[in-house]
Structure 1
């Protein structure tokens, strides 16, 4: 089985680096340092023009994954918007307060995606790693219409969660399992050994553009933003091809 390489990017430039480094697709978001948020229509359009399949994260705010009715309504609209703007798929997720999957919200996201394009791919994001039982959660995804799930096996990093990821692969049936979280090229062989269909990493480096002075918000410490590192993408591709 050929294992796919997915790179998380935040710009068309990052998508080009991922494409030229041998990635099969990208996950597109903004606010990567916040866990990722929904990209704008223009960002999706510009990334689509790079030619690499882009799967847009749909997450309307940072924080947890328990969403109220208004947030779900907004994300349903975001699902349709990013797909109409050229995204090849969407990356979504929602939990109930008891940390089980919010299947009603997830069905709405899947239905919205397929109403735009029958072939749209739908990925469950790492909300699954906050579920009370990630293995039981993935067993539900085929019936909900999901294409794949991104997971660290409920651990801080995918490497640490490898044993659980392997169990998730067994439970997922036709749904593809993609390992991600803190992945380096060094981790790739062990993750491939779990049986995953894809490996996901951000392959990021600091852009060195920190600012000083007045903070721009409570989460702003003046740190530099991140960009996609071509050498990390190439190393991950080489590790998969070895």
Structure 2
């Protein structure tokens, strides 16, 4: 069974993006920084500004760096402190994922962060799940550890390529843990994804292109990654969010 009104979580990285997501009809946001790296922990100032600006649910990425999901003890301490800082702010939950070097879930580390989240904050295990050794064993481990939701593309490059695996995960989960498909979902395919997988929520960016208002520009200088445009950004678009919401209702 699919939901008549599947929940839409928008992945974004700014307070303006959160406002656009809410105005477009999103149910929840995943707040990150540096989406070009797959998302890392946003600043506490950004989290507080988003909480003040919108009324919808806010999930906060807890990831100290880009790259793999094998974290040192010092990195884990940072993640614990980041979660601790979120208590009392009014956010909905946290998003993280850790693996051991053999590709299995880093049970001890995940347990520590779940305990830090406590009853106040829900927990989503992010797409570290998509590079784990055995997703079906990992699913059971995450249920045992008290994780509420898994963000996954079905261990494929994109959700449309992983729909069969996602369906299997939904069936195995049987309501014990949420399965949140994300990566490669667009308004043009979201209804089909929902119908094929049986999920009741989905995760996507909803970007539009914003051209810089700077009148003086120096294209020879890069502040970020050479080759990426410095005077053009992908930002959350209220209109694009609305397109997702309307399309998802067709599932």
When the two structures are superposed, what TM-score results if normalisation uses the length of structure 2?
0.90
For 1:86-235, list aligned pairs within 5 A: 86-114=90-118, 118-173=119-174, 174-193=176-195, 194-209=197-212, 212-217=219-224, 219-223=225-229, 224-235=232-243
Q: 1:28 and 1:212, CA in 2 relative to 1: closer, same or farther beyond 3 A?
A: same
- RMSD of aligned residue pairs (Cα, Å): 1.6
| Cα distance in 2 between the residues matched to 1:211 and 1:113 | 45
- Provide the secondary structure at the position in 1 that maps to 2:179: strand
CA contact (8 A) 2:208 2:240 kept: no
Runs of 4+ with >6 A deviation = none
Stretches of structure 1 that go unaligned for 5 or more consecutive residues are none
Question: Contact 1:141–1:172 at 8 Å: present in 2 too?
Answer: no
The answer to whether the Cα contact below 8 Å between 1:83 and 1:89 also exists between their aligned partners in 2 is: no
Q: Which runs of 5+ in 2 are unaligned?
A: none
Deviations 1:112-167 (A, max 9, x none): 011xxx14210000000011122321122221111101000011111111111111
**Per-residue deviation, 1:27:** 0.3
Cα deviations across residues 152-184 of structure 1 (Å, max 9, x unaligned)?
001111111111111111222410100000210
- How many residue pairs are counted as aligned between the two chains? 238
C-alpha change, 1:211 and 1:34, in structure 2 (3 Å) is farther
Question: Which has the larger Rg?
Answer: 2
Normalising by the residue count of structure 1, what TM-score does the alignment of the two structures yield? 0.93
Q: What is the DSSP-based 3-state SS (H/G/I as helix, E as strand, rest coil) of the residue aligned with 1:6?
A: strand
